[in-house]
Amino acid sequence: MFSVKVGKDEVEFWFSHPVQKPHEVEGLTGRVVDEDRRCTIATIEVNGKFQSQGVAVCHSDDIFRKATGRKLALADALVGFTKDARIAVWNEYHKYCCV
């Protein structure tokens, strides 16, 4: 779990990398797929309350890479956040994860 202070707010975020069934992928993304897919899910809480979730679904022809999935899912989860919050989150992410 990552944690960063943005103004008065404490922003926490983390990742999971489950294999999802087709109906689960459709429920998360609205996209219809025909087989199980590896996914990366980024979850963001602000001051201990759920704020946002981003999802990256690996195409069946692609090689699953956690780093790629984390970047895509985090970018998706940060939609709607202020520029300062996005910068703080990405800076915290890059402290511990490869660029």
Query: In angstroms, how far is CA 68 from the centroid of its own chain?
Result: 10
| pLDDT score recorded for residue 60 | 82
- Report the candidate in 10, 1, 24, 15 with the shortest Cα–Cα distance to residue 73: 15
CA–CA gap between residue 31 and residue 23 (Å, rounded): 9
Mean pLDDT of the chain: 89
CA–CA gap between residue 55 and residue 69 (Å, rounded): 8
Domain of 33?
2-96
Q: pTM here?
A: 0.88
Mean pLDDT, residues 61-86 taken together: 93
Mean pLDDT, residues 37-61 taken together: 92
Domain count, the chain: 1
Higher pLDDT: 9 or 29? It is 9
What is the 8-class DSSP label of residue 9?
Answer: E
- Report the candidate in 63, 69, 55 with the shortest Cα–Cα distance to residue 26: 55
| pLDDT score recorded for residue 98 | 65
| pLDDT score recorded for residue 99 | 53
